[in-house]
Amino acid sequence: MAKIKIAVAGCLGRMGQELSKQIVKNNKLEFVGGFEHKKHKDINKQFKNVSDIDSNKIIDSNPINSIKTANVVIDFTTPQSTLENVKIASQNKTAVIIGTTGMTESEKKKVKSYAKKIPILMSSNMSLGVNLLFNLVQQTARALNDTDYDIEIAETHHKHKMDAPSGTALSLGEYAAEGRKISLNKSKVLDRTKKLTNRKKGDIGFSVTRGGEIAGEHTVSFIGENDRVDLVHKANNRSIFVKGAIDAAIFLSKKKSGFYSMNDLLFSN
């Protein structure tokens, strides 16, 4: 069986390096290269000379070369970079895995428009466990009504993470809102310091902690008058996100154009 050719966007970032290392080690995959911002200090150097990635390939500043060669490109970069990479991928019939967070609704809509030409899988979290949590949150929100149970979402990440709340926390909020058939935009509460008021029925509150090197922790609490249900996921390290992204790339390499989620992978068996 031919190996699946994988390219990595932002290959020297925190996730990019972990992804590249594991792709090189996987005998089902071929690491065809990675690219970084043109101003990165290690452009045009060999991976093995500047990182733990065991590859003689050169770190590129031009995404076109890697994307054109690949069956799938994995992108954990920034919204602006992701949109540019997806555009190039659509021109070269290359599938795309997107783990980038912090995208606006209009940016997500733009990504989905490219899915008419190529297969795209986008998720705020590549962990299969978190994606199972999404479904559990939706079911629980549907079962426990807003009259009896308030919803609060708490998330903790490493000190380097810039977007807050995390993309995963917002996705958890979306699943909770869908379970109750309400709009997250109308029900989410991100800051309680601006206005002194009681909690409203149906509010979905968010709290954020940043510190240390915590890979990611998410808790969705359904708080009633006499009991409380907590749904919790804790990532011990980034390996679960790497494994999920690689599993998603293998899954997507066999698909036709369209917009996919980790749910499609989770329930594909």
Give the rounded distance of the alpha carbon of 183 from its chain centre.
Answer: 22
Tell me, yes or no, if 161 is annotated catalytic: yes
Q: Length of the chain in residues, anyone?
A: 269
Question: In sequence order, what are the beta bridge partners of 232?
Answer: 219
| C-alpha to C-alpha distance for 164 and 187, rounded to whole angstroms | 17
Give the rounded distance of the alpha carbon of 227 from its chain centre.
Answer: 32
Q: Are 218 and 155 in contact (CB under 8 A)?
A: yes
157, 188, 218, 233: the active-site residue:
157
- Return the closest-CA partner of residue 63 out of 75, 79, 49, 46: 75
CA distances in angstroms from 61 to 12, 22, 126, listed in the order given: 12, 22, 26
Q: Spell out a b/e string for 151-172, using b for 16 or more CB atoms within 10 Å of the CB, else e.
A: bbbbbbbeeebebbbbbbbbbb
- Return the closest-CA partner of residue 262 out of 152, 148, 143, 99: 99
Q: How far apart are the first and last CA of the chain?
A: 21
5, 21, 161, 233: the active-site residue:
161
What are the residue numbers of the active site? 157, 161
